Each structure stands twice: as C-alpha cells, then as structure tokens.
Structure 1
Amino acid sequence: MLPTYYEFQNSTKILSGKNALENISYELSGLGASRPIVLSDNVLKKIGSLQKVLDAMESTGMEPAAIFTDIPSDSSVSVVNKIGRIYQEAGCDSIVAVGGGSVIDTAKGVEMLISQNVKDLLELQGCESMTSGSHIPFIAVPTTSGTGSEMTLVAVIKNIEKSVKMEFISNYLLPDAAVLDPRMTETLPPKTTASTGFDALCHAIEAYSCNQKNPLSDAYATAAIKLVVENIETVITDGKNRKARLAMANASTMAGAAFSNSMVGMVHAIGHALGGVCKVPHGDAMTILLPYCMLYNYKHVGDIYGELLLYLEGPDVYARTPAQKRCEATIKSVRRLERRLNQLCGLPMTLKAVHVDKKDFDAVAKTALNDGAMLANPAAVEYEDVIRILNQAYE
C-alpha cells in the first residue's frame, strides 16, 4: 500500500566493481576539486588498505593535500573539530573518506563544519534544519560492508563528555560518490565480516518495517536482504572471494539507501545506547537485539515481517509456509542465520558474551528512549519494555 505521503532521496553516485578506486581522481576533478584531505584510521593504514586508495589516486594524477588517520572506532566531536582545523590550514578543497562507519561519519562531521563555516560541531546540534552551505566535494570509500554510511543522510558522532552518540541528520550529508571496490573489504577478518554484514541485514529489515517505509525504500531493502543471505557465509569462509565481497558491499549500500529514507527503529535505538554506555560494537549489538525486537514488534508488523520470508528463505519455503505463520518463520530464519554465523566465526549472540553488566541496563534503557531512532519504530516503547528486551538478550 502506498503511504499517503513520502520522501526519498538517493543522490549519491555509485562506482561499483573492478578498478573502481582508479576513478576517484576523475570524480574529484569533475567536482572541481584537486586538493583533497584523505581521512582513514590507523588500522587501515597499517594493513595497507589506505595505501591502495592513495596508489590509485596517485596513478591517475592526484595527490592528497593532507592525510589524517587518527580516527577512533567511535568518532567524536573533538576529532571532527581537529580535522576541520587541519583542512583549513592545508588549503584543502574536498574530502575522501576511506574506512567504516566511524571514518565516514567523521568525514560528514568535517563536511558540516566546513560547509557551514563553524569551528565546533556542537554548534550544529539539531541540524535537521541545516541549509546546504558551501558545497564540499566528498567521496566515500567504505572498507566494511555493513554501516551503509556512504549512502545515508545520518552521521553518528560521540559526545564523550556525556557518553552519548549524537545523530546529525541532513540531506546535505550525502557523499557525492561512493566507491565500492572489492579490494577494500577482502582483508576483513571473518568475525568483523559477520558483524558488519548482520548490521546491513538489520538496516534492511528495520527499513522495511519502520513507520516511514515506502515503495522505493522497500525495493532497496529487499534486494539488500537477498544479497546478504546469499553471500554472507561465503565471505566469512572465503574472504578473498571478490564476487561475494562486491555483493556484500552492494547490499550494505542498498540497505543504507533504504534506511536513510525510511529510518530505523528500536533495534538501533537500543543498540546506540549499548554502544554509548557499554562500548558494545554496533554490529554485535544489532545481531544480539534484532530477533528480540522483532518479537516485540510482532503484533504491529507481523504481516510485513512475513513478507520478508521470501527474501530470507526463497520462493519454495515462502510458498509452502501458511500466511499466518510467515512472520514466525521469518524471525526463526534470522535466528538460524545468527547461529550459523556464531558457529562459523564466533559472532556473539548474547549481551553477556559482549561483557555487558546488568547494572548498566537502567542507563541503557533511559538513553535508548531518548534516541531519535525510537520515533520511527512501528510500536510504542516504554522503559520497562527496553529492560525486558535487555534481560531476554542477556544470555
């Protein structure tokens, strides 16, 4: 059924496939840029992933004006502000972000600073009403297949002083281009591959079931689910399989486009809180929480969840499953996939396994209820509901 009104934006150009990295310089030139700052992290620098991008850029005639790699796993306001100063001092005119969600979100923060001509990111809190400002050419090169940050109008950046992950939302945060090259993810360890891949699956499932779902986001979400299910176990057992790696990169990007427009719900609200309060890695939190939150939303979106059985298990299973049992079968399918990934690489399935202390449940629940993602959840959520879900997911 068509919603009475919806909006969908997907303006990021996709460069996907063999030798995609070699087109970065061309894209920057087309955007009128020649002095990019390249952002990454020290792990990617150490294992050579960053160098692949630098070599590709240099081979096509462009060198960075600055390189910054001290980006932590949870980006922070202070890091964004520091990079903003470096950008100005080095006379940069564009941004290339090489990394996972934290690096790309950091780049979005820098883009906000420069385009809005401010020095402190906190000046832009509540930037849903932010104007376009100056255009800063921005290319994202994801090195994980999960966050979808290269296709979203959301940046999650931590306020360390308050132990809160802040969400900045604006149509002007979308990169100009996203580069999906299988060379960038083939060194991901199996457990990280599983965690980030399950994050993409969660993005797609929440995008398909949250209050702002629409026909376009549905199309992206279901295509992403199918690609994840068909490829995630392959990339865990055969990390050098470039065909499967590229499929997962595309799944992550499509899931990102889906949830950027239809939004996510309680899985992400609670997951963000677990990350902020208990330092739980985001993908692990999504994996642990997803089936319990689906059970919570069951009465409100059971038919919608049931539709996803087609993409999770294929047409034969879908056809022989009675309509009234498809929602239950969908949740069981998600749980079975979790178990297989747990057996393959040790992907955690409980909060106890990621060392969450029950004494933090109160802070997690209060933080989750104030998370913007909770607004789009299909069912209303109270404090007691979050506590119940955390207890269910504990062990």
Structure 2
Amino acid sequence: MPTYYEFQLPGKILSGDGALEHIPHELAGLGSRRPLLLSDEGLVKAGAVALVKGAVAQGGGAFAAEFCRIPADSSILVVNEIAALYREAGCDGLVAVGGGSVIDTAKGVRMVLAQGSGDLLQNAGCEVLPRGEQAPFVAVPTTSGTGSEATLVAVVANPEAHVKMEFISYYLLPDAAVLDPRMTATLPPRITASTGMDTLCHAIEAASCLQRNPVSDAFAEKAIGLVSANLMRAVEKGGDKAARLAMANASLLAGAAFSNSMVGLVHAIGHALGGVCRLAHGDAMNILLPTVMEYNLEKCEARYGELLLPLAGPTEYASTPAPQRAKTAICRVRALQAALNEACGLPMTLSATGKVRREDFEAVAQRALNDGAMIVNPRQADLENVLELLERVW
C-alpha cells in the first residue's frame, strides 16, 4: 500500500449496444448544441462516422462542423487548424470518433481552446496550467487498445522538432466515453489482436509498476480478466458483440489504471521501437511483454503470482502451487501470444515484423533509457540490459 497516491476517475461511461444513441442526450446535458465532429478518412470510408452522425441525427442533434482527416500521427499543426475551425464555425463541443490519434488530437484542441490560445506549443507544461474554460468533450473509441478515452495523457507530434510531445493533465479527460460494439465490429483480426495485447500490457504494467495503488490494481486486474476471456473470441469472431464490448471495457479500464499508476520497461522500449523503427505500438507490446516480465520476475514474483488469477481463472490459480504461479502467469501470456500468432499472424519476434534491424538496437536502447516509463519499472535496467532484451526478442 503506498503511503500516498492520487487517482482521477474517467468521466461518464456509456457502454453497450446502442450507446451511440445516447450521445445527443449527453451533449445536451453538457450544454453543447453545436458540436464539432472529429475523425479520420479511414473511419469515414468504413462507415463508423456515418453511424455516429446517424445516432446524433436520430436524437434531433446535428454537427455544426466536421474535420475528418486527422492523420495517424497527428501534429500540433492539425490541432491548431481544428481549433481555428472550432472558433470560426461557432462550435461549443467536441465529439471525437477514432483511435488514439483522433482522441489525443481532440484533447489537444480542447487544451488550446481552454487556454484561449491559438497554438498548442504555447501550452507546453499542461500539467501546471489552470483548468480554463473546458469545451464539452465526448470520446467514441474505435479500437480497444490505447485507452485514450480514459487517460490523462495526449501525445501530439511536433514535426518541426521531429519529436512526439506528451501532455499530461487531469483536465485532458473527456466528459464522456462511449463504448459501443458497433465501433469495433469491423476491425480486422490482426489489428484486433495487436490493440488487444496493448491493452493487456497496459494492465499488467499498471498492476506491477512502482506507482501502483489499490484503485489502479482493481481496474488493471479486471482488464486482465476481460482480455484473457475475450481477446481470442474478438479475433476469431469479429462480429461477436459481447467480446467486442468486453474488449472496449478492458481498454478503458486499463487506460484508467496506467494513467494513474504508469507503465514500465515494456513501454519504454516499445516507445523507442516506434520512434526509431516505426514499429506499431501494439506489435511492440505483444513481442516484449512476456520477456520483460521474465526480466522483472525477481522483483515481481509475488505480484505476478497474484495476476495468475485474472489471467487463468480461479481453477488454474487454485491448482497451481504458490511458488509456481508467477512463472505460470508468464506462460499464460506466452500461450496467448502464440495463439494470436497462429490465428492472424501477429508477430512474436522483432525480426518477423520486417521493421526492425539489429543495427537499430543501440539507438533504440539509448532512447528507451530516457523514456519516463523506465523510472517506475520495478527492476532497474541499463543499456546492456535493454540490448540483451532486444536480442532475446529478435
């Protein structure tokens, strides 16, 4: 038990088949009559944006303006352009339909508006900025991985400096998160698997890092159980609404957990692999998770043993001798990893991704050591340790 901790709960959660149809009521309650719709071109083509627009129209609402061309790696330039559109169109709220990039962009826009500025760069150091006048904000996630709808974090690229800027503030949380299985029903198996393992990694690292607390543990453990019970079903039967909804809830719970406790070495290396090699984040999480758990085992044996319960269920937990539970938990993660590889080709090694070269390892390791997630990992790691881990997952 930590001697002191803080925990910020996510906003209102609307979860279930038909949750989209409740958006007009939420907007009205938040005082928004002229919301701005944010999304990306892929979701327009997939029909997800039309679903949301139809649900809002059914409730008698309408969007005052739309910006549906947010790129995969959104930037401060996009944020500033949207903030200007919001003001020009006389909007009074935000509805973000998308994955992490879209929702993080909306967070950036809300930040600019709240501070009365026109440039996100002026809001660096967001964690110490005043609340300002917050625009009503509804997030509709279309993947079950980032958990951005429940986090205190926004990542937005600064193309001029060639870096991704991370903003952290309690004021970034949406007012409402809408979890509707229709939003993820058409996700391909490969993306479902990758984002699902991202969720599992968020939960396991949140439940074992140095800043974990009783509330984050509760959120993380429930997320682990939901992923273990539903990810394979969502991959193999994409139209299974129950599995899709369970994964959406797992993503939100894991996001709330790590947002309040942090992550660890898997994310430190994963962030570096993304920056240096452009490796998809979920793929990196999947590849690294069990190997980093083995690295942390000497510090986390008792905790990993406890996590066998949500990973495997009460029967296997009870029948596994206490000294073997931690290693069995890691074996459970490896078994899920292998099953996903067989089901949809999710890569299990860096070499299998085709994105990473051994000659990149030094740059990846150096960047990982400077990542903030490294600070709260239960076992310290130096350059040699990170290089060894990269070799083990090669």
What is the identity, as a one-letter code, of the residue corresponding to 1:72? P
Shift of 1:166: 2.3
- With 374-383 and 43-52 compared, the bigger mean Cα shift is at 374-383
SS in structure 1 at match of 2:253? helix
Residue correspondence of structure 1 range 295-334 to structure 2 within 5 A: 295-334=294-333
Aligned: 1:144 with 2:143? yes
- Sort the Cα spacing of 1:112 and 1:202 in 2 relative to 1 into closer, same or farther, 3 A: same
- With 44-53 and 77-86 compared, the bigger mean Cα shift is at 77-86
Aligned: 1:363 with 2:363? yes
SS in structure 2 at match of 1:140? strand
- With 170-179 and 76-85 compared, the bigger mean Cα shift is at 76-85
Aligned: 1:379 with 2:382? no
What's 2:391 paired with?
A: 391
What is the identity, as a one-letter code, of the residue corresponding to 2:374? M
The C-alpha deviation readout for 1:251-310, integer Å capped at 9, x for no partner, is: 111111111111111111211121122111111111011112112211111111111111
CA contact (8 A) 1:263 1:373 kept: yes
What's 1:208 paired with?
A: 207
Shift of 1:126: 2.9
What's 1:270 paired with?
A: 269
Structure 2: unaligned runs, 5 residues or longer: none
The C-alpha deviation readout for 1:71-120, integer Å capped at 9, x for no partner, is: 12222222212212211221111110000111111111111111112222
SS in structure 1 at match of 2:165? strand
Shift of 1:324: 1.7
- Sort the Cα spacing of 1:325 and 1:161 in 2 relative to 1 into closer, same or farther, 3 A: farther
Query: Distance in 2 between the 1:262 and 1:271 partners?
Result: 18
Query: Distance in 1 between the 2:301 and 2:165 partners?
Result: 31
CA contact (8 A) 1:273 1:367 kept: yes
SS in structure 2 at match of 1:166? strand
What's 2:16 paired with?
A: 17
User: Aligned residues, how many?
Assistant: 393
Structure 1: unaligned runs, 5 residues or longer: none
Query: Distance in 2 between the 1:83 and 1:161 partners?
Result: 19
Residue correspondence of structure 1 range 252-291 to structure 2 within 5 A: 252-291=251-290
Query: Distance in 1 between the 2:372 and 2:75 partners?
Result: 18
- Sort the Cα spacing of 1:341 and 1:160 in 2 relative to 1 into closer, same or farther, 3 A: same
What is the identity, as a one-letter code, of the residue corresponding to 2:377? N
Shift of 1:388: 1.6
What is the identity, as a one-letter code, of the residue corresponding to 1:383? L
Query: Distance in 2 between the 1:381 and 1:226 partners?
Result: 29
CA contact (8 A) 2:10 2:256 kept: no
Query: Distance in 2 between the 1:268 and 1:43 partners?
Result: 27
Aligned: 1:344 with 2:343? yes
Shift of 1:125: 2.3
- Sort the Cα spacing of 1:339 and 1:163 in 2 relative to 1 into closer, same or farther, 3 A: farther
Shift of 1:383: 2.0
Query: Distance in 1 between the 2:73 and 2:351 partners?
Result: 21
Query: Distance in 2 between the 1:390 and 1:161 partners?
Result: 30
Shift of 1:165: 2.6
CA contact (8 A) 1:40 1:70 kept: yes
Residue correspondence of structure 1 range 91-106 to structure 2 within 5 A: 91-106=90-105
SS in structure 2 at match of 1:84? helix
Aligned: 1:174 with 2:173? yes
Query: Distance in 2 between the 1:147 and 1:11 partners?
Result: 14
SS in structure 2 at match of 1:308? helix
What is the identity, as a one-letter code, of the residue corresponding to 1:382? D
Query: Distance in 2 between the 1:258 and 1:381 partners?
Result: 23
Residue correspondence of structure 1 range 81-230 to structure 2 within 5 A: 81-230=80-229
What's 1:46 paired with?
A: 45
CA contact (8 A) 2:37 2:96 kept: yes
Query: Distance in 1 between the 2:10 and 2:188 partners?
Result: 31
CA contact (8 A) 1:163 1:276 kept: no
SS in structure 1 at match of 2:154? strand
Q: Please tell me the root mean square deviation across aligned C-alpha atoms, in Å.
A: 1.3
Query: Distance in 2 between the 1:80 and 1:272 partners?
Result: 22
- Sort the Cα spacing of 1:215 and 1:310 in 2 relative to 1 into closer, same or farther, 3 A: same
SS in structure 2 at match of 1:331? helix
SS in structure 2 at match of 1:211? coil
With structure 1 as the length reference, what TM-score do the two structures score? 0.97
CA contact (8 A) 2:10 2:151 kept: no
CA contact (8 A) 1:199 1:286 kept: yes
What is the identity, as a one-letter code, of the residue corresponding to 2:360? D
